[in-house]
A and B are shown apart, each in its own frame.
Chain A
Amino acid sequence: MLVSFGKHLGQHRCPRARRGQFVIIAALMIAIMIVSIAVVMYSTVSYYRYESWEEYMGLIDNVMAGSKQVLLSLLANYTVNVYEKGVADKSIVNDMLLKWSIDLYKAFPSYGLNVSFYERSQLVNINVYGISYNRLVNGFIKCYWYHPEGLSSVCAEARIDALRFGLYGYNTSALYYLYARIDTTYISANPSSVQNINVTVVRENGPATDLNWSNFEVLRFDPNIGDWRTVDLIPKNTEEMMASPGVYTLEFLESVTAPYYKWLIVTVRDNRGIYVKLSTYNFIQFEVQRATPTSQMTTSADEIYTLECGIGGHWYWNGKELSVIGDVAVMPPFPPIPIKQFRVNVTETGSSGPFVTSPCQYEIWDGVNWHGKIIEVPRGLADPWAKFNASSRIVFQVKFPQLSIQRQKVRIYWLDDLDAPPYQGPSDLTYDSNTFTANTNRYRVEFIGVGHTKSPTYPYDYYGVAALVMINPTNGLCFGPWNLHAFGIYSGSLGEWRPYGQWQIKYWYQNTNKRAVVRLIAILNSTQVQNIYNPSTGPRNNYYDTYAVVFITANVKYLQLNVHIYWKQAQTDYGLWFASIMGKGEPKYYAFLNYTTGSVAGPYEYNYINRQHREYRYPGYWAAHWNEEFGRGVIFNEASVQSLRSINPSRTRFSVTEAASSGANQGSIEFEAINCGGSEYTTYTGLSYSYSLTMWMYSGGDYAEVNNYYYMFLESYAPKIVVGG
């Protein structure tokens, strides 16, 4: 080409031009040579980098293999703590990873190794044997338990710098998990008994094929002991158990009969020490049937029950255990899982209506031996991580907003996310510890007692006497305190000796910043009484002990009070009150239900001109006082009316007092077990009684609302639980 090019040009170009061609060729050749030398020099200079690649790959492999093991240890540690101790402590994650980073640095001091771990979100997608399971893993460790399929997983991103190799920002992520699934199809076949179940176990690298019978634990509910017990498995090795890779058949030594095979708890622990806990079911369902006489009611818009659900088919309302329609034995037992996992759905338009979320909370109740009598009282809100047991109660609300609705359905289900907090949905229930005030959307209550002896809304100091001041939250109206109990007269002033002490408020879950959303519990456990009119002698302990529990409930117009009284010494005085509810001169009218006739007595108008203490015979289930803006009714249940009448039925009274001790108007409503207007009464050591009262807060005008809703609180009209429907 060059030759022909030259020949062709040679006919037209001069020799000078011919020399120019060589110059160009020379320049090109020199340029090529320079480039070649540059390449050679570069490869010479950077030679060591390629050589050291293999060295630092060895180091990185070591770091990654160790990090994998640390992450697996983290997951195993977390799951074993949850399984064995019910403790989910994620603080170990950062502690252990930090230790690991420091130890790596120490192990390779000359490499300038810096390894850090970061949270990473990743979707776990399991598709084997027709299973399609997707869950998001984040926050290093994520566990989904207590459903028929579950997962324990750990996910992290590691960033590695090795200064010696000039390596910065080496980035890699890791995900390890244990997934398990119970095949629950046997339940729908409805056999009379079950001898085995199938469990599929999968790890991040495929089906787990190295397990044997000792890696599984099965629990069943035993109605004879009322608790869960282990089902003995027939010892088998991997080959004998595994039908196909990762699918294990667990053979029971004794078959599990119907219906108990529907409710099994299966725990899988793989050989890395990672646990997954599964349940063959994930909800419990029943119905609540109202029993109020709808034909005698004008409305039920505020007929809302705050129910407590305990273990073993026990439900409670207003201190009474509810009767159950149907066979409790067919009712699924509560699984032994952290109580915070539970949630409640209810219908609001009848049992065939759609479910809506009901606020719920978890309480601990104890049978306390109090002066030789066992009384059921709440200890407070539960430890969210405590397993549901005989002391636990789930509290939720069921509404019957229309008279035509007779049943509502309730579904108690549980979440599979172990990070789920206690239910913390929207709630109007708040507590301000600075003002000792609990608020709901319906009323406000100020706790008076030791530590807060005087309410800004009521002009009298209570000197440590425990009482409740109810306030209308919308207009701030306050009629005055609710006194829990009283005895005697001091210089013509009624109710001299009243319970003295400090309220214990139960609003926060133990060891958390999570709050009660359904109701606040206040407890008064007092051994002293105080002369409210003359505190100079100080509180006395030679009268009676008081154990009182108040429930301040959101979304309803009522608050409930349970009082237990025990007399330690005989005392003689005038009058014994179960309740005295002050009026501060605000209410204009009052009325009460006559126990004998069953009809309403009143309404009467307070006479603030000729002010007296007026007593009426035969107090019944309720009494109310009101004005045009605000009203309060006190409702007794049947047992409490009997308790009121238990000391001397001929001396029980409903009464009002129109003047306060200072001379101001009062306008109270009172229930007297022994009327103060009669002769002296002497108590005796060992005299004890209990009563449950409900305060109904409403907008006044008349007593119709109290008369309409008081049935809710009577034992005869308590709702019933329908199971197995």
Chain B
Amino acid sequence: MRVIETILASLVIMVALSFVNNTLIPPYSPRYEATELEKLGYNVLHNLEARGILTRYVYDSDIARGQALLRSALMVSLTPDIYFNLTIYRLDEFGQLHLEGQPIIHGEPEAFQNPSQVSTVTYILASPGDYYDPRILVLQLVRR
């Protein structure tokens, strides 16, 4: 009888562990996990680059116009409940970062102060044409 009990007990434990494993949602761990916003940021920037839009706007000879167009492109690409702050840096020949134009901001300032979710994506962009002049894009996303 003890043996039968042992077997039954083992079965119960096994079933319990399987149930837990399949149903339990693990706690949020930002150290290891990319947030949905982060994934979204990468995807948006990567898609814009793949379509040639990102490079064209970032390297527009008229920086203000390019950044305005980029702002529009990001607004279209992101859902309305997401605000963003995109900062573009230019790398000089000594590796120093210089702000290119102005930060491209969409959203109310308070949304950035008390966001429900916030994430930052860094993206590097190589120049088109026959010269080397990369840009580093820092995209901060917040969800209202």
Q: Which residues of A contact B (CB under 8 A)?
A: 19, 22-23, 25-26, 29-30, 32-33, 36-37, 40, 43-44, 47-48, 51-52, 54-55, 58-59, 61-63, 65-67, 69-70, 72-73, 76-77, 79-80, 96, 99-100, 102-104, 106-108, 272-273
- Assuming the A-B contacts A58-B42, A73-B128, A103-B95, are A66 and B7 also in contact, with contact meaning beta carbons closer than 8 angstroms in the complex? no
With A and B bound together, what is the CA distance between A29 and B12 in angstroms?
Answer: 12
Inter-chain contacts of B130 with A (CB < 8 A) = 73, 76-77, 79-80, 273
A107 touches B136 (CB 8 A): yes
State the Cβ distance, B137 to closest chain A Cβ, in Å.
Answer: 9
State the Cβ distance, A74 to closest chain B Cβ, in Å.
Answer: 8
- Assuming the A-B contacts A70-B126, A104-B124, are A48 and B33 also in contact, with contact meaning beta carbons closer than 8 angstroms in the complex? yes
A99 touches B50 (CB 8 A): no
A272 touches B128 (CB 8 A): yes
A67 touches B21 (CB 8 A): no
Inter-chain contacts of A66 with B (CB < 8 A) = 124-126, 134
Instruction: Among B17, B34, B95, B134, point to the contact of A36 (Cβ < 8 A).
Output: B17
Tell me the nearest residue of chain A to B124, going by C-beta: A107
Inter-chain contacts of B132 with A (CB < 8 A) = 70, 73, 77, 96, 99-100
- Interface of chain A: mostly helix, strand, loop or mixed: helix
B39 touches A29 (CB 8 A): no
A26 touches B6 (CB 8 A): yes
A26 touches B18 (CB 8 A): no
9 A-B pairs with C-beta separation under 8 A = A22-B3, A36-B17, A40-B18, A51-B33, A58-B38, A58-B42, A62-B123, A69-B128, A272-B129
With A and B bound together, what is the CA distance between A108 and B45 in angstroms?
Answer: 16
A65 touches B38 (CB 8 A): no
With A and B bound together, what is the CA distance between A583 and B39 in angstroms?
Answer: 91
Q: Convert B29-51 into 0s and 1s, putting 1 for each residue whose CB lies closer than 8 angstroms to a CB of A.
A: 10011100011001101100110
Inter-chain contacts of B32 with A (CB < 8 A) = 48, 51-52
A29 touches B128 (CB 8 A): no
State the Cβ distance, A531 to closest chain B Cβ, in Å.
Answer: 61
Inter-chain contacts of A69 with B (CB < 8 A) = 55, 125-128
Instruction: Among A48, A65, A99, A108, point to the contact of B122 (Cβ < 8 A).
Output: A108
Instruction: Among B39, B46, B136, point to the contact of A55 (Cβ < 8 A).
Output: B39
Instruction: Among B13, B29, B127, point to the contact of A73 (Cβ < 8 A).
Output: B127
Most buried by B among A30, A43, A54, A63: A54
State the Cβ distance, B87 to closest chain A Cβ, in Å.
Answer: 13
Task: Give B109-144 interface residues, CB cut-off 8 Å to A.
Answer: 121-132, 134, 136
Inter-chain contacts of B124 with A (CB < 8 A) = 62-63, 66, 103-104, 107-108
B82 is an interface residue with CB less than 8 A from chain A = no
Q: Interface size for chain B: under 10, 10 to 19, 20 to 34, or 35 or more residues? A: 35 or more
Task: Give 4 A-B pairs besides A29-B7, A65-B49, A106-B136 with Cβ atoms closer than 8 angstroms.
Answer: A23-B3, A69-B126, A100-B134, A106-B91
Inter-chain contacts of A104 with B (CB < 8 A) = 124
B76 is an interface residue with CB less than 8 A from chain A = no
With A and B bound together, what is the CA distance between A25 and B136 in angstroms?
Answer: 63
Instruction: Among A22, A33, A100, A106, point to the contact of B10 (Cβ < 8 A).
Output: A33
Tell me the nearest residue of chain B to A109, going by C-beta: B122
With A and B bound together, what is the CA distance between A605 and B26 in angstroms?
Answer: 114
B63 is an interface residue with CB less than 8 A from chain A = no
Task: Give B4-22 interface residues, CB cut-off 8 Å to A.
Answer: 4, 6-7, 10-11, 13-14, 17-18, 21
Inter-chain contacts of B128 with A (CB < 8 A) = 69, 72-73, 272-273
Inter-chain contacts of A51 with B (CB < 8 A) = 32-34
B33 touches A52 (CB 8 A): yes
State the Cβ distance, B53 to closest chain A Cβ, in Å.
Answer: 13
Instruction: Among B10, B21, B55, point to the contact of A30 (Cβ < 8 A).
Output: B10
Instruction: Among A55, A73, A106, point to the contact of B95 (Cβ < 8 A).
Output: A106
Instruction: Among A36, A47, A61, A102, point to the contact of B18 (Cβ < 8 A).
Output: A36
With A and B bound together, what is the CA distance between A503 and B4 in angstroms?
Answer: 110
Inter-chain contacts of A23 with B (CB < 8 A) = 3
With A and B bound together, what is the CA distance between A79 and B32 in angstroms?
Answer: 45
State the Cβ distance, A342 to closest chain B Cβ, in Å.
Answer: 28
With A and B bound together, what is the CA distance between A22 and B13 in angstroms?
Answer: 19
With A and B bound together, what is the CA distance between A170 and B23 in angstroms?
Answer: 34
B17 touches A58 (CB 8 A): no
Inter-chain contacts of A30 with B (CB < 8 A) = 10
With A and B bound together, what is the CA distance between A463 and B131 in angstroms?
Answer: 57
With A and B bound together, what is the CA distance between A52 and B21 in angstroms?
Answer: 19
Inter-chain contacts of B43 with A (CB < 8 A) = 58
Inter-chain contacts of A52 with B (CB < 8 A) = 32-34
State the Cβ distance, B6 to closest chain A Cβ, in Å.
Answer: 6
